[in-house]
Homo-oligomer: A and B are copies of this chain.
Amino acid sequence: MKHNVLIIGAGGVGHVVAHKCAQNNELLGDIHIASRTLGKCHAIIESVHDKGSLQQPGQLQAHALDAMDVEATSALIRATRSDIVINVGAPFVNMSVLEACIQTGAAYLDTAIHEDPAKVCETPPWYANYEWKRRQACREAGVTAVLGVGFDPGVVNAYARYAVDHCFDRVDSIDIVDINAGSHGRYFATNFDPETNFREFTSTVWSWENNAWQANAMFERRKEWDMPVTGKTTCYLTGHDELHSMSQNLGVPDIRFWMSFGEHYINVFSVLKNLGLLSEQPVRTARGQTVVPLEVVKAVLPDPASLAPDYTGQTFIGDVVRGRKGGKPEEVLIYNVCDHAACFDEVGSQAISYTAGVPAVAAALLIADGTWDRGTMANVEDLDPRPFIALMNRMGLATRIRDAKGDRLLDPVTQVARKERVAVRANAQ
């Protein structure tokens, strides 16, 4: 049975999602891409054809859509007979797209938390402000919604669940470490939508420590992490989506997120922030125009997609998990390393988009084959991580584990239920 997919958003992640859906269209069926800007959808479709990404001959169609419009989104889901909606649009459209899925019965996936454009960094846990308010509605409608299923949030949640369930008697802390050791060769650029990128760092840094929310300022706490491939890298405590579900779902007292930033990035960011240019609040110019400064900064920065051809180096994303096993302290690192140039060779994207887009398609495959199709709303750590990790190992994102026994591929396939193997088989080209 086919499961047509509607991809909402034609940015860098949408590009990867389209390629990966195409590589699996035997199971997924028709692929529809919708964006406010039709031309961006067409460019992605052209890229999918150029790279020969389609697993078998199939439909790829572009649609103009304002995803804030629930009726228009519902109508498009129906018209395209889509069973699965992969929302990789701006974080402002989550709630309207989710509503359209509830109305139509389509499964819903996204890779980032909902945001109100006029607000930054609301009261934690953030999921409770928006998505979780529709949990009951999903259950009643029997709609599968998997929230935040990119890499982080997403895969790092699955790594945490795997560690809690399979590596420890008791987990004391999880430190998620996100390092981009790549180089794009530009004066300054963000690796995904600048607006979304900066909004992450312009307000309170929320962490989960001693079973409570801890507030810090951005760049207030730093730590050097020595990781495989990327080596010693200075990272900063950062607020991030996954803390807002993992803190509520895993029963682990300390969960923190660390991101690498170079001095140049911090300098540019600090100048822009201190001047007020990262504000989402409109200002009035001397000529009487009302303008949101952050939108202007976005307009002058390079299009993240334009960075891919020259990007070199690797990304590292992983969970450092500490706790006790058999009465002894234990530390386990579960991680992925992704190469920018290899991603570009395969699908024409850099590794930041690639690592965010592949997991969403893996999740779509697990919904299509029934493994994750629970008919309700879930964060990734609510779901069995093993079929997800195993499937991604075969989709270009290999998971490794480093513990007292050494550093090796983590492939939980042998422990996985029958349904997952269907997906893996479907994905084998």
Contacts and interface: CB of A to CB of B under 8 A. Distances in A.
A249 interface: no
A300 interface: yes
Contact of A275 (B195, B276, B287, B297): B297
A295 B291 CA distance: 10
A112 to B, nearest CB: 17
Interface stretch (A48-56, A210-218, A278-286, A357-365): A278-286
Contact of A296 (B188, B267, B277): B277
Contacts of A43: none
A75 interface: no
A268 interface: yes
Given A188-B275, A267-B271, A271-B271, A300 B295 contact: no
A274 interface: yes
B271 A286 contact: no
A72 interface: no
A191 B213 CA distance: 43
B299 A275 contact: no
Q: Which of A274, A292, A299 has the most CB of B within 10 A?
A: A299
Contacts of A422: none
A139 interface: no
Contact of A286 (B188, B277, B287, B298): B298
Contacts of A295: 285-287, 289
Interface in A231-277: 267-268, 271-272, 274-277
Interface in A171-224: 187-188, 195
Q: Which of A195, A268, A275, A298 has the most CB of B within 10 A?
A: A275
Contacts of A276: 300
Q: Which of A268, A272, A291 has the most CB of B within 10 A?
A: A291
Given A271-B267, A275-B187, A296 B301 contact: no
A286 B272 CA distance: 19
A412 interface: no
A293 B300 contact: yes
Q: Which of A195, A284, A300 has the most CB of B within 10 A?
A: A300
A292 B274 CA distance: 20
A268 B267 CA distance: 9
Instruction: Report the 10 A-B pairs with minimum CB-CB distance, sorted nearest first.
Output: A276-B300, A285-B295, A271-B271, A283-B299, A285-B299, A187-B274, A296-B296, A268-B271, A291-B296, A291-B291
Interface of A: 187-188, 195, 267-268, 271-272, 274-277, 279, 283-287, 289, 291-293, 295-301
